[in-house]
Amino acid sequence: MAHPPENHRPTVLKGIGVSPGIVLGPVFHLNRDRLRYPRRRIEPAEVAPEQARFEDAVARAAANIEDLIQDLPEELREHSGILESQRLMLKDRMLYDRTLRIIEEEGVNAEWALEKALAHVRGLFRQIRDPYIRDRVEDVEYVSRQLLRLLTGQRETDIDEIDEPAIVVAHDLSPADTTRMRPDRILAFLTDVGSRTSHTAIMARSLGIPAVVGLENATGAIAPGEQVIVDGMTGEVIVGPDETMRRHFLERREKCIRQRLDFIHHSHLPAETRDGYRVKIKANIELLDEIPTVIEYGAEGIGLFRTEFLYLASRSLPSEDTLYRAYREVAERLAPYPVTIRTLDIGGDKFVSTVSLGDEINPALGLRATRLCLKEPKLFRTQLRAILRASVHGDVRILFPMISGHMEILAVKEHLEATREELRREGVPFRDDLPVGIMIEVPTAVTMADVLAREVDFFSIGTNDLIQYALAIDRVNEHVAHLYEPLHPGVLRLIRQATEAAHQAGIEVAMCGEMAGEATYVPVLLGMGLDELSMNALAIPRVKRMIRLSDQEACRRLAGDLLAASTAREVRERLADFLDQHYPGDFEAATDLYTALRAEDTAASTA
């Protein structure tokens, strides 16, 4: 292992903490350099052999993944579906068929054709507004890289080559890399790219390996052998820490251990304020692989089961039985807790590849979610049948996304009732009183909330979209994304209006957007009177702790005060004062030293 240069000045990198834990150790670089290959023209007679070469690479990649699945350690068996989905991706028509077609139509070598097909896939994924789905492009990138390595014969550093405890640094890692990590050798890992919802992050949490992703240039900023401190909760990475920082690290690690034990203790306690206001805390999931984490972190059910991955992981539309088996599994594993299954929330970006949709200038405002389902009744009925059939295996609820008016919910309920009648005629059992809910994520759904509330059993506020539509902000547009503001007074008023309409109609209202999992917003949401909060499972312990430290009456007064504010800045200032007064110490910068150092670096770089 190489050693860092002498007199190296400590620096701080900031990424996305995706798996908690704080460690200190030397760095091991995994070679994931960009592959190089020329664009090569081929003669017509070479097309068939070139296509065969590509097909052989696909077959070998599939065999490699199959071997990995067979060799999975016991603690990762439940994640085999992630690798299986990557095996299916090898034959996805966007990648596989398109590459074969480009070889033939453009007369180019397989590597170049594959890269061109991948560029097309990247472009499609960039249009997706849902970050959970957009992040799936990482799996496509990984699959393509494996194919390119097989085609070019270039190898990369193997994770098995690490023979002493180290912190892995790489441009990117795949779930397959993660399955081969031995916790006694891999102290943590850092990557240039990645996201909180990547499959690699999910598997790191299962293995208990601290991880920070999205560091942008960890591979360039950290030398092999260099000592680093990794904080997998905050996303802070200290490169070349001095003695003061090492002492701080030890104190911080001890504090983290105590805090984690405290969180674990709170995670299985009821989410109840000091004055007796009880809130249900549930988890948002996308994959069945996330269920163990949901249970470990003390969720009281699934508040949002995103079903899109069941469609994205298949070359063709999933069958009713495929959906039923997935829904049944999550219902049975979470029993007796409830599971809220959201019907397909996918847009006009053609990722349901067998449903032909035209290109749309603005997919976020186009044919997506319930609008798409109503246009494609067969697609919709298949989901409804699967959900109804699964309802006898647990406390299943159904949630319809992007309802913007009364006619839509009436149309949805007609399909639901027609599907029930079909199952009755066939003698297929289902729960007749399956609770029905809608997502409140369009401003008109708020203004019509009193009407809509009479048609359903619960509301679930999707703050990500509600904020986007209310403020007319495209979250994926870099020029306006900074204007996205959960604490905008207008947004708070929408949340309050929807909540009051639900309660006046005698139904419960949940929140399943990112706002629900942010601890600093807990007093605001308690004051608004939300009945349920659903979030990323990792956020649950802290949110529960916040609730148990809160007084709902004080939060109600706070909410009233914030609703009277004129600007988001004013709201933030009043909320900050409230947090200081009611939760002293809880929101102090946990990384004071790191923050100061980073500020020092910034000052130095701009001097």
Cα 176 to Cα 524: distance, rounded to the nearest angstrom: 41
Three-state SS for 45-112 is: HHHHHHHHHHHHHHHHHHHHHHHHHHCCCHHHHHHHHHHHHHHHHCCCCCCHHHHHHHHHHHCECHHH
Buried b (16+ CB within 10 A) or exposed e, 153-175: eeeeeebeebeeebbbbbbbbbb
Query: Residues 79, 373, 488, 512: which is the catalytic one?
Result: 512
Cα 10 to Cα 538: distance, rounded to the nearest angstrom: 30
Return all residues near 365 (Cβ < 8 A) that are at least 6 apart: none
- Least Cα distance to 310 among 204, 408, 386, 256 occurs for 386
Sheet with 211-213, edge to edge strand ranges:
11-14, 236-239, 227-231, 22-29, 166-170, 186-191, 211-213, 16-19
* Virtual torsion, Cα 357, 363, 367, 371, nearest 10 deg: 140
- Strands 280-285 and 11-14, bridge-based pairing: unpaired
In Å, what is the CA distance from 50 to each residue of 58, 115, 264, 315? Answer: 13, 15, 55, 23
Return all residues near 606 (Cβ < 8 A) that are at least 6 apart: none
Residue 199 annotated to the active site: yes
Quote the tokens at residue 220. 């360039």
Is 475 annotated as belonging to a binding site? yes
- The DSSP annotation for 490-533 comes to HHHHHHHHHHHHHHHTT-EEEE-SGGGG-GGGHHHHHHHT-SEE
Buried b (16+ CB within 10 A) or exposed e, 46-68: ebeebbebbeebbeebbeebeeb
Q: For CA atoms 408, 409, 412, 418, give the dihedral sign.
A: negative
Cα 332 to Cα 260: distance, rounded to the nearest angstrom: 29
Residue 248 annotated to the active site: no
Is 306 annotated as belonging to a binding site? yes
Cα 445 to Cα 448: distance, rounded to the nearest angstrom: 5
SS3 category, 434: coil
Look at the chain and count its residues: 607
Q: How many of the other CB atoms lie within 10 Å of CB of 580? A: 13
Is 342 annotated as belonging to a binding site? yes
Element (H, E) at 256: helix 243-267
Is 441 annotated as belonging to a binding site? yes
Query: Residues 29, 199, 248, 266: which is the catalytic one?
Result: 199
- Least Cα distance to 202 among 89, 283, 92, 263 occurs for 283
Quote the tokens at residue 248. 């701080």
Q: How many of the other CB atoms lie within 10 Å of CB of 451? A: 14
Element (H, E) at 25: strand 22-29
For the CA atoms of the chain, what is the radius of gyration?
Answer: 25
Active site residues: 199, 512
- Binding-site residues for Mg(2+), please? 441, 465
- Binding-site residues for phosphoenolpyruvate, please? 306, 342, 464-465, 475
- Binding-site residues, please? 306, 342, 441, 464-465, 475
